[in-house]
Amino acid sequence: MKRLAVVGAVVLVLFGAGVALLLATRGDGSAGGSPTLEVVQADDARVDYDYVIPAGTQDRQLNGETVEIMPPSLDVEVGERIRIRNDDEAGAFVGLFFVGAGEVVSMKFTTPGTLTGECDLTPGGEFTINVAEPV
């Protein structure tokens, strides 16, 4: 959890400055190796998968409701992009990223591999992205 918070803080600082951020992770989520993620500004990005965290999501969770905004796993191809927009008043962990309240994070996948991280928006609490070469 602490590692995810640090990654989220770095993403927010660099993303807010309009700088692309590359994260190298192994399939087990540890540093080094592939796949490489590129964070790009959402208003420039063509997206293949678009998710919205609606206003009131945290309130629903605090009231005991199960929230399923993200799938437990997602199969994507190298070059595809995912955008997550948070319309809620609270931030949320989505895999390797923290999406702050009112923020947008877009990810472009540049190499094949598997990424798994904590997720506040799946019933199982985990989000896995399987990145494959295009067929």
- pLDDT per residue as tens, the chain (135 positions): 443 433 443 343 334 433 333 444 434 444 445 556 665 555 555 889 999 999 999 999 999 999 999 999 999 998 888 999 999 999 999 988 899 999 998 888 888 888 899 999 999 999 999 999 998
Among 1, 10, 3, 24, smallest CA distance to 100 is for 10
The string of DSSP codes covering 18-81 is T--EEEEE-TTS-EEEEEEEEEE-GGG---SEEEEE-TTHHHHHHTT-----S-SEEEEETT-E
Residues of the domain holding 106: 2-132
- Residue 123: CATH number of its domain: 2.60.40.420
CA dihedral of residues 84, 119, 65, 83 (deg, nearest 10): 10
Q: Rounded to an integer, what distance in angstroms lies between the CA atom of residue 88 and that of residue 54?
A: 6
**Count of the separate structural domains present in the chain:** 1
pTM of the prediction?
0.71
